[in-house]
Amino acid sequence: AYILNYRFLSKRLYLEEVGTKKSEQLHENRFGYLQRFGLVGEIMLLDIKLYIRNKRTKSMLYLTPLFWAYGLLFYPGDQYSSDSGFMIFIGIFITGYLTITYLQSAFAYEGSYYDYLLSSGIDFEQYIKAKLTLGSFAIVVSYFVTLPYLYFGWQVLLVNTATAIFNLGFITPMMLYIATYNKKAIQLSRGNAFNFQGMSAVHWLTMLPVFVLPTFIYLPFKWFGHPDYGLLALAAIGLITMAFRKFLIKLIARNLIEKKYIMASGFREKN
Protein backbone atom coordinates (compact mmCIF):
# COMPACT_ATOMS: atom_id res chain seq x y z
CA ALA A 1 0.00 0.00 0.00
CA TYR A 2 2.87 2.36 0.86
CA ILE A 3 4.52 1.73 -2.52
CA LEU A 4 1.26 2.34 -4.40
CA ASN A 5 0.64 5.58 -2.51
CA TYR A 6 4.22 6.72 -3.10
CA ARG A 7 3.96 6.11 -6.85
CA PHE A 8 0.61 7.90 -7.04
CA LEU A 9 1.80 11.00 -5.19
CA SER A 10 5.22 11.11 -6.87
CA LYS A 11 3.50 11.55 -10.23
CA ARG A 12 1.60 14.54 -8.88
CA LEU A 13 3.97 17.09 -7.38
CA TYR A 14 1.08 19.45 -6.60
CA LEU A 15 -1.96 18.26 -4.72
CA GLU A 16 -4.31 20.56 -6.64
CA GLU A 17 -3.56 18.57 -9.79
CA VAL A 18 -5.48 15.63 -8.33
CA GLY A 19 -8.68 17.65 -7.92
CA THR A 20 -8.19 19.37 -11.26
CA LYS A 21 -7.91 16.11 -13.16
CA LYS A 22 -10.99 14.72 -11.42
CA SER A 23 -12.89 17.86 -12.38
CA GLU A 24 -11.70 17.59 -15.97
CA GLN A 25 -12.80 13.95 -16.14
CA LEU A 26 -16.23 14.95 -14.81
CA HIS A 27 -16.61 17.60 -17.52
CA GLU A 28 -15.44 15.13 -20.16
CA ASN A 29 -18.08 12.63 -19.06
CA ARG A 30 -20.83 15.25 -19.12
CA PHE A 31 -20.03 16.92 -22.44
CA GLY A 32 -17.68 14.50 -24.19
CA TYR A 33 -20.40 13.45 -26.64
CA LEU A 34 -20.00 16.85 -28.34
CA GLN A 35 -16.73 15.62 -29.83
CA ARG A 36 -18.78 13.32 -32.06
CA PHE A 37 -19.79 16.40 -34.06
CA GLY A 38 -16.28 17.06 -35.31
CA LEU A 39 -14.60 20.45 -35.06
CA VAL A 40 -17.87 22.23 -34.27
CA GLY A 41 -18.49 19.94 -31.30
CA GLU A 42 -14.92 20.30 -30.05
CA ILE A 43 -15.13 24.10 -30.13
CA MET A 44 -18.46 23.99 -28.28
CA LEU A 45 -16.89 21.72 -25.67
CA LEU A 46 -13.97 24.12 -25.22
CA ASP A 47 -16.34 27.07 -24.77
CA ILE A 48 -18.38 25.16 -22.19
CA LYS A 49 -15.18 24.34 -20.28
CA LEU A 50 -14.12 28.00 -20.50
CA TYR A 51 -17.40 29.08 -18.91
CA ILE A 52 -17.30 26.45 -16.18
CA ARG A 53 -13.68 26.92 -15.14
CA ASN A 54 -13.26 30.69 -15.02
CA LYS A 55 -14.43 32.95 -12.22
CA ARG A 56 -16.01 35.68 -14.30
CA THR A 57 -17.99 33.47 -16.65
CA LYS A 58 -18.93 31.06 -13.88
CA SER A 59 -20.44 33.88 -11.82
CA MET A 60 -22.51 34.89 -14.86
CA LEU A 61 -23.86 31.35 -15.07
CA TYR A 62 -24.80 31.48 -11.40
CA LEU A 63 -26.81 34.65 -12.05
CA THR A 64 -28.72 33.19 -15.00
CA PRO A 65 -31.57 31.67 -12.89
CA LEU A 66 -32.20 35.13 -11.42
CA PHE A 67 -32.65 36.58 -14.90
CA TRP A 68 -34.89 33.68 -15.91
CA ALA A 69 -37.08 34.67 -12.95
CA TYR A 70 -37.13 38.31 -14.09
CA GLY A 71 -40.65 37.88 -15.45
CA LEU A 72 -41.98 37.31 -11.93
CA LEU A 73 -41.47 41.01 -11.27
CA PHE A 74 -43.91 41.98 -14.02
CA TYR A 75 -46.22 39.14 -15.05
CA PRO A 76 -48.22 38.95 -11.78
CA GLY A 77 -48.91 42.71 -11.66
CA ASP A 78 -51.45 44.82 -13.50
CA GLN A 79 -49.15 47.70 -14.43
CA TYR A 80 -48.39 46.12 -17.82
CA SER A 81 -50.90 44.31 -20.03
CA SER A 82 -49.82 40.99 -21.51
CA ASP A 83 -49.79 42.52 -25.00
CA SER A 84 -47.79 45.67 -24.14
CA GLY A 85 -44.54 46.48 -25.89
CA PHE A 86 -42.67 46.11 -22.61
CA MET A 87 -43.52 42.40 -22.57
CA ILE A 88 -41.49 42.05 -25.78
CA PHE A 89 -38.52 43.43 -23.88
CA ILE A 90 -39.09 40.90 -21.09
CA GLY A 91 -39.41 38.03 -23.56
CA ILE A 92 -36.20 38.96 -25.37
CA PHE A 93 -34.40 39.31 -22.05
CA ILE A 94 -35.39 36.10 -20.29
CA THR A 95 -34.99 33.86 -23.36
CA GLY A 96 -31.86 35.56 -24.68
CA TYR A 97 -29.85 36.86 -21.70
CA LEU A 98 -27.43 33.93 -21.54
CA THR A 99 -26.82 33.95 -25.29
CA ILE A 100 -26.46 37.72 -25.53
CA THR A 101 -23.83 37.85 -22.77
CA TYR A 102 -21.99 34.90 -24.35
CA LEU A 103 -21.94 36.09 -27.96
CA GLN A 104 -21.25 39.79 -27.44
CA SER A 105 -17.89 38.83 -25.87
CA ALA A 106 -17.35 35.52 -27.64
CA PHE A 107 -13.93 36.53 -29.00
CA ALA A 108 -12.91 38.78 -26.10
CA TYR A 109 -13.15 35.79 -23.75
CA GLU A 110 -10.45 34.12 -25.87
CA GLY A 111 -8.25 37.22 -26.02
CA SER A 112 -5.44 35.70 -23.96
CA TYR A 113 -4.83 32.94 -26.52
CA TYR A 114 -6.28 34.56 -29.64
CA ASP A 115 -2.86 34.58 -31.33
CA TYR A 116 -2.76 30.82 -30.99
CA LEU A 117 -6.13 30.53 -32.72
CA LEU A 118 -4.85 32.60 -35.63
CA SER A 119 -1.75 30.46 -36.02
CA SER A 120 -3.62 27.16 -35.68
CA GLY A 121 -5.20 27.38 -39.13
CA ILE A 122 -8.69 26.94 -37.71
CA ASP A 123 -11.62 26.86 -40.12
CA PHE A 124 -13.33 30.17 -39.30
CA GLU A 125 -16.69 29.10 -40.68
CA GLN A 126 -16.73 26.06 -38.39
CA TYR A 127 -15.53 28.30 -35.57
CA ILE A 128 -18.46 30.69 -36.10
CA LYS A 129 -20.93 27.84 -36.57
CA ALA A 130 -19.91 26.36 -33.22
CA LYS A 131 -20.51 29.60 -31.36
CA LEU A 132 -23.87 30.19 -33.05
CA THR A 133 -24.92 26.61 -32.29
CA LEU A 134 -24.00 26.93 -28.63
CA GLY A 135 -25.73 30.30 -28.40
CA SER A 136 -28.85 28.84 -30.02
CA PHE A 137 -28.82 25.91 -27.61
CA ALA A 138 -28.74 28.36 -24.68
CA ILE A 139 -31.87 30.08 -26.06
CA VAL A 140 -33.70 26.76 -26.39
CA VAL A 141 -32.80 25.85 -22.81
CA SER A 142 -33.90 29.27 -21.56
CA TYR A 143 -37.20 28.95 -23.41
CA PHE A 144 -38.05 25.59 -21.88
CA VAL A 145 -37.03 26.78 -18.42
CA THR A 146 -39.48 29.69 -18.73
CA LEU A 147 -42.42 27.56 -19.91
CA PRO A 148 -43.99 27.67 -16.40
CA TYR A 149 -44.79 31.33 -17.13
CA LEU A 150 -47.79 29.83 -18.91
CA TYR A 151 -49.39 30.11 -15.46
CA PHE A 152 -49.83 33.83 -16.16
CA GLY A 153 -51.69 33.23 -19.42
CA TRP A 154 -51.34 32.01 -22.97
CA GLN A 155 -50.39 35.48 -24.19
CA VAL A 156 -47.23 35.36 -22.06
CA LEU A 157 -46.31 32.02 -23.61
CA LEU A 158 -46.91 33.38 -27.12
CA VAL A 159 -44.71 36.40 -26.41
CA ASN A 160 -41.89 34.22 -25.07
CA THR A 161 -42.20 31.85 -28.04
CA ALA A 162 -42.08 34.65 -30.62
CA THR A 163 -39.16 36.40 -28.93
CA ALA A 164 -37.25 33.13 -28.54
CA ILE A 165 -37.59 32.47 -32.29
CA PHE A 166 -36.52 36.06 -33.01
CA ASN A 167 -33.50 35.55 -30.74
CA LEU A 168 -32.61 32.30 -32.48
CA GLY A 169 -32.80 33.61 -36.00
CA PHE A 170 -31.90 37.29 -35.82
CA ILE A 171 -30.22 38.22 -32.54
CA THR A 172 -27.63 35.42 -32.42
CA PRO A 173 -25.90 36.17 -35.75
CA MET A 174 -26.23 39.92 -35.16
CA MET A 175 -24.49 39.71 -31.78
CA LEU A 176 -21.68 37.56 -33.14
CA TYR A 177 -21.17 39.89 -36.11
CA ILE A 178 -20.92 42.89 -33.77
CA ALA A 179 -18.47 40.93 -31.59
CA THR A 180 -15.97 40.94 -34.48
CA TYR A 181 -15.44 44.65 -33.77
CA ASN A 182 -14.35 44.02 -30.19
CA LYS A 183 -10.73 44.95 -29.45
CA LYS A 184 -10.55 44.49 -25.69
CA ALA A 185 -9.70 41.15 -24.13
CA ILE A 186 -11.59 40.09 -21.03
CA GLN A 187 -9.54 38.82 -18.09
CA LEU A 188 -11.49 35.75 -17.05
CA SER A 189 -9.64 35.17 -13.79
CA ARG A 190 -10.34 38.64 -12.42
CA GLY A 191 -13.55 39.97 -10.98
CA ASN A 192 -17.07 38.67 -11.34
CA ALA A 193 -20.12 39.16 -13.52
CA PHE A 194 -20.39 42.81 -12.45
CA ASN A 195 -16.78 43.59 -13.34
CA PHE A 196 -16.77 45.82 -16.43
CA GLN A 197 -13.13 45.22 -17.36
CA GLY A 198 -12.92 44.58 -21.09
CA MET A 199 -16.26 46.26 -21.73
CA SER A 200 -16.48 49.19 -24.11
CA ALA A 201 -19.13 51.52 -25.47
CA VAL A 202 -19.76 48.97 -28.24
CA HIS A 203 -21.09 46.48 -25.69
CA TRP A 204 -23.68 48.93 -24.42
CA LEU A 205 -24.64 50.24 -27.85
CA THR A 206 -25.38 46.69 -29.03
CA MET A 207 -28.12 46.49 -26.41
CA LEU A 208 -30.16 49.09 -28.30
CA PRO A 209 -30.98 47.01 -31.40
CA VAL A 210 -31.34 43.87 -29.29
CA PHE A 211 -34.21 45.25 -27.21
CA VAL A 212 -35.49 48.27 -29.15
CA LEU A 213 -35.76 46.76 -32.64
CA PRO A 214 -38.16 43.89 -31.80
CA THR A 215 -40.30 46.29 -29.77
CA PHE A 216 -40.52 48.70 -32.71
CA ILE A 217 -41.47 45.82 -35.02
CA TYR A 218 -44.23 44.73 -32.67
CA LEU A 219 -45.76 48.05 -31.61
CA PRO A 220 -47.32 49.15 -34.95
CA PHE A 221 -49.35 45.93 -35.06
CA LYS A 222 -50.41 46.45 -31.46
CA TRP A 223 -51.47 50.06 -32.13
CA PHE A 224 -53.70 48.92 -34.98
CA GLY A 225 -55.34 46.34 -32.75
CA HIS A 226 -53.51 43.22 -33.97
CA PRO A 227 -50.86 42.33 -31.35
CA ASP A 228 -50.86 38.69 -32.44
CA TYR A 229 -49.78 39.76 -35.92
CA GLY A 230 -46.88 41.57 -34.29
CA LEU A 231 -45.80 38.33 -32.62
CA LEU A 232 -46.15 36.52 -35.95
CA ALA A 233 -43.94 39.18 -37.56
CA LEU A 234 -41.21 38.64 -34.96
CA ALA A 235 -41.39 34.87 -35.37
CA ALA A 236 -41.39 35.19 -39.17
CA ILE A 237 -38.26 37.37 -39.12
CA GLY A 238 -36.57 34.81 -36.90
CA LEU A 239 -37.51 31.91 -39.17
CA ILE A 240 -36.46 33.76 -42.34
CA THR A 241 -33.04 34.61 -40.91
CA MET A 242 -32.65 31.00 -39.77
CA ALA A 243 -33.09 29.96 -43.40
CA PHE A 244 -30.10 32.15 -44.27
CA ARG A 245 -27.93 30.79 -41.44
CA LYS A 246 -25.25 29.40 -43.78
CA PHE A 247 -24.97 32.72 -45.59
CA LEU A 248 -24.75 34.59 -42.28
CA ILE A 249 -22.03 32.24 -41.05
CA LYS A 250 -19.98 32.99 -44.17
CA LEU A 251 -20.61 36.73 -43.71
CA ILE A 252 -19.48 36.72 -40.08
CA ALA A 253 -16.46 34.53 -40.87
CA ARG A 254 -15.44 36.86 -43.70
CA ASN A 255 -15.68 39.88 -41.42
CA LEU A 256 -13.74 38.07 -38.70
CA ILE A 257 -10.95 37.25 -41.16
CA GLU A 258 -10.76 40.90 -42.21
CA LYS A 259 -10.65 42.11 -38.60
CA LYS A 260 -8.58 39.32 -37.02
CA TYR A 261 -5.24 41.14 -36.90
CA ILE A 262 -6.83 44.35 -35.58
CA MET A 263 -8.58 42.29 -32.90
CA ALA A 264 -5.39 40.41 -32.04
CA SER A 265 -3.48 43.67 -31.66
CA GLY A 266 -6.14 45.02 -29.32
CA PHE A 267 -6.26 41.81 -27.29
CA ARG A 268 -2.49 42.04 -26.66
CA GLU A 269 -2.91 45.36 -24.85
CA LYS A 270 -3.04 44.71 -21.14
CA ASN A 271 -4.36 48.09 -20.00
11-64 per-position pLDDT tens digit: 544 444 444 444 444 444 455 555 666 788 888 888 888 888 877 788 888 888
Radius of gyration of the chain (CA): 21
Give the pLDDT of residue 17.
44
Give the pLDDT of residue 14.
44
Give the pLDDT of residue 26.
40
Q: What is the pTM of this model?
A: 0.82
99 within 8 A of 171, measured Cβ to Cβ:
yes
Give the pLDDT of residue 37.
64
CA pair distance 138, 131, nearest whole angstrom: 11
Give the pLDDT of residue 170.
96
Give the pLDDT of residue 39.
81
263 within 8 A of 115, measured Cβ to Cβ:
no
State which residues of the chain have pLDDT below 70.
1-37, 79-82, 189-204, 270-271
> CB count, 10 Å around CB of 49?
15
